[in-house]
């Protein structure tokens, strides 16, 4: 249980609770709608390749302030560019991650690959970023979006999120609220990300080359990934997508004399990582050798190793240090736009100015005000509440603390809704939920030129207010759409 001090609740789009009979009827329809439109996932507990279940979802779209939604959309291309510039700033990446790589093996391995390909000279100068910047609303004086993080690798759910937007339009019609449809914004996330992959494929300029998705040994989020694959084929009938795990790449792929990545008889134009962001996805040296081979290749990577590192929590914290964004943007109004979505982020380094020590003291005094974050992705890794105290106290004098960053805890407003999961036979009741908005961005280019920089769509992920984290694949979260108010 967390200690959120959620302030003013947001008003729901439909008066709740629904009467029992209507709720029962509409829930049944909703589940079938999701099943029939592929808003589904494999089930971790009964893993069977031939079976999917509907993804956890909320029955009604959740209210979200229009002004803040627009703000998040508008700032996306600026954040895309910031990520792109950081990824190409060798000194900044090296300096920022210096203390972290001394203690965090996973980041150190990634950084090692980066140093290797940087020293050799990048065979492919172009990177593709399919990014997702995530926000929670925070009640300061009024409700504001605050960035939770920027994802540069495996930014998922664009496929299912697009479908959920259609679902929420359907359900509002079903509840005879057609007048409310105008408050559900259009969502072209899937199409936008696929166009990014297709544009990268075109730049590679080999009509016979394929797009390689790097996948886990078992893919829970299969429909989301397949939506991308199928839409790519629909938009451009020449493009074949192949799927391989890092282990399979290690044994089946090689680099030819030109450092082209060859899998079977195919040259790979674009590598799209939907795996490779957490240590468990590199169980042996084979997976690491595959990652290095890919980074050395002429394929366009999504993300390239430098983009991957630009998405670490440590880089996010360093960007919040005064003077950093100013290095990348001379225009003060742009700097201001970025700053308004940043919340307090603090280094835990043993630095000369004692900033790290100050942050530790501050968090030990009021641990509930902060979240402690390691350099990990995929949810379930952060520390909250009293555990912040325990963990920080235990590592106060140890170098280990520099593998973490400290962040102000954001307190999103509560909202009632019905959260529906497959297999849950309990009577449906409204719950207090909180929502996290993700905005997708596409950026394509190299250090000299940005060829594409766009905001392409969104996802809303909603979780019980009582749970600290809301990963959908990991557990507590559910798919949602914003209902703009
Ligand atoms: P990951 O890369 O693992 O997704 P996140 O930074 O997104 O890491 O953290 C995971 C989840 O933890 C978020 O989706 C959010 O629910 C919660 N969380 C993260 N940072 C904060 C914060 N500063 N305040 C409140 N909740 C947070
Ligand atoms: Mg992340
Ligand atoms: Mg996250």
ipTM of this model? 0.99
Has residue 160 been placed in a domain?
yes
Using the mean position of ligand 2's atoms as its centre, give its distance from the Cα of residue 9 in Å.
27
> 87: helix, coil or strand?
helix
Using the mean position of ligand 2's atoms as its centre, give its distance from the Cα of residue 120 in Å.
29
Using the mean position of ligand 2's atoms as its centre, give its distance from the Cα of residue 25 in Å.
36
| Cα distance from N-terminal residue to C-terminal residue, the chain | 29
Phi, psi at residue 63, to the nearest 5°?
-65, 140
Closest CA to 183 of 73, 74, 72, 62: 62
Q: CA distances (Å), 112 to each of 48, 52, 87, 99, 474, in order?
A: 37, 38, 15, 14, 29
Judge contact between 69 and 437, C-beta under 8 A: yes
For residue 373, indicate whether it is catalytic: yes
Asked if 239 and 187 sit in the same domain, the reply is yes
Instruction: Provide CB contacts within 8 A for 338, sequence distance 6+.
Output: 75, 78, 79, 82, 325, 329
Has residue 177 been placed in a domain?
yes
Residue after which a domain boundary falls, among 357, 384, 409 = 409
SS3 content of the chain, % helix, strand, coil (to 5): 40, 25, 35
Q: Residue 178: count other Cβ atoms within 10 Å of its Cβ.
A: 11
Q: How do the pLDDT tens digits run along the chain, 485 residues long?
A: 344 454 556 778 999 999 999 999 999 999 999 999 999 999 988 888 899 999 999 999 999 999 999 999 999 999 999 999 999 999 999 999 999 999 999 999 999 999 999 999 999 999 999 999 999 999 877 889 999 999 999 999 999 999 999 999 999 999 999 999 999 999 999 999 999 999 999 999 999 999 999 999 999 999 999 999 999 999 999 999 999 999 999 999 999 999 999 999 999 999 999 999 999 999 999 999 999 999 999 999 999 999 999 999 999 999 999 999 999 999 999 999 999 999 999 999 999 999 999 999 999 999 999 999 999 998 999 999 999 999 999 999 999 999 999 999 999 999 999 999 998 877 789 999 999 999 999 999 999 999 999 999 999 999 999 888 877 776 789 999 999 99
> 21: helix, coil or strand?
helix
> Is 152 close to ligand 1, i.e. is its CB under 6 Å away?
no
d(CA 79, CA 72): 10
For residue 149, indicate whether it is catalytic: yes
DSSP 190-223: HHHHHHHHHHHHHHHT-TT-EEEEE--SS-SSHH
State the Rg of the chain over Cα: 22
d(CA 297, CA 226): 25
Give the pLDDT score at 240: 98
Asked if 166 and 83 sit in the same domain, the reply is yes
Give the pLDDT score at 426: 76
Asked if 266 and 138 sit in the same domain, the reply is yes
Asked if 367 and 437 sit in the same domain, the reply is no
Number of domains observed in the structure of the chain: 2
Residue after which a domain boundary falls, among 356, 387, 409 = 409
Asked if 400 and 477 sit in the same domain, the reply is no
Give the pLDDT score at 9: 67
Asked if 338 and 348 sit in the same domain, the reply is no
Q: Whose alpha carbon is nearest atom 11 of ligand 1?
A: 469
User: What CATH number has the domain bearing residue 375?
Assistant: 3.30.1490.50
Full residue range of the structural domain in which residue 375 is found: 344-409
Judge contact between 402 and 108, C-beta under 8 A: no
Question: Which ligand 1 atom is the nearest neighbour of the CA of 373?
Answer: 6
């Amino acid at each position: 249980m967390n200690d959120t001090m959620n302030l003013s609740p947001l008003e729901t789009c439909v008066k709740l609770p629904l009467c029992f009979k209507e709720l029962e009827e509409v829930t049944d329809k909703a589940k079938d709608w999701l099943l029939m439109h592929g808003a589904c996932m494999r089930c971790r507990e009964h893993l069977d390749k031939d079976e999917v279940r509907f993804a956890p979802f909320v029955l009604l779209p959740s209210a979200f302030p229009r002004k803040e939604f627009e703000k998040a959309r508008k700032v996306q291309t600026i954040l895309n560019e910031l990520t792109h510039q950081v990824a190409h700033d060798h000194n900044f990446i090296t300096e920022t991650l210096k203390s972290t790589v001394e203690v965090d093996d996973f980041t150190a391995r990634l950084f090692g690959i980066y140093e290797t390909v940087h020293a050799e000279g990048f065979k492919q100068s172009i990177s593709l970023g399919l990014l997702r910047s995530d926000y929670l609303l925070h009640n300061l004086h009024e409700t504001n979006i605050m960035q939770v993080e920027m994802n540069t690798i495996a930014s998922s759910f664009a496929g299912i999120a697009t479908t959920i937007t259609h679902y929420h339009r359907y359900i509002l019609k079903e509840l005879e609220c057609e007048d409310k449809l105008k408050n559900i914004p259009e969502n072209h996330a899937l199409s936008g990300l696929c166009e990014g992959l297709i544009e990268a494929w075109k730049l590679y300029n080999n009509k016979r080359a394929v797009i390689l998705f790097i996948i886990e040994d078992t893919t829970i989020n299969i429909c989301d990934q397949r939506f991308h694959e199928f839409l790519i084929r629909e938009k451009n009938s020449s493009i074949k997508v192949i799927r391989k795990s890092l282990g399979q790449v290690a044994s089946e792929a090689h680099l030819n004399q030109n450092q082209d990545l060859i899998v079977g008889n195919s040259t790979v134009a674009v590598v799209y990582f939907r795996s490779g962001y957490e240590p468990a996805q590199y169980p042996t040296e084979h997976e690491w050798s595959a990652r290095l081979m890919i980074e050395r290749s002429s394929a366009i990577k999504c993300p390239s190793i430098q983009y991957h590192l630009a998405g670490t929590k440590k880089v996010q914290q360093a960007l919040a240090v005064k003077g950093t964004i100013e290095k990348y943007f001379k225009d003060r109004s742009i700097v201001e736009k970025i700053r308004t979505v940043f919340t307090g982020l603090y280094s835990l380094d043993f630095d000369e100015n004692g900033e790290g020590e100050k942050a530790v003291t501050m968090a030990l005094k009021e641990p509930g005000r902060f979240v402690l974050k390691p350099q990990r992705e995929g949810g379930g890794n952060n520390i909250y509440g009293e555990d912040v105290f325990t963990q920080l106290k235990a590592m106060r004098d140890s170098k280990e603390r520099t593998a973490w960053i400290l962040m102000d805890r954001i307190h999103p407003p509560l909202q009632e809704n019905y959260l529906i999961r497959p297999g849950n036979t309990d009577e449906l009741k409204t719950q207090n939920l909180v929502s996290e908005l993700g905005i997708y961005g596409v950026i394509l280019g190299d250090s000299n030129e940005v060829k594409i920089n766009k905001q392409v769509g969104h996802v809303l992920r909603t979780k019980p207010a009582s749970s600290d984290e809301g990963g959908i694949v990991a557990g507590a979260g559910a798919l949602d759409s914003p209902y703009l108010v």
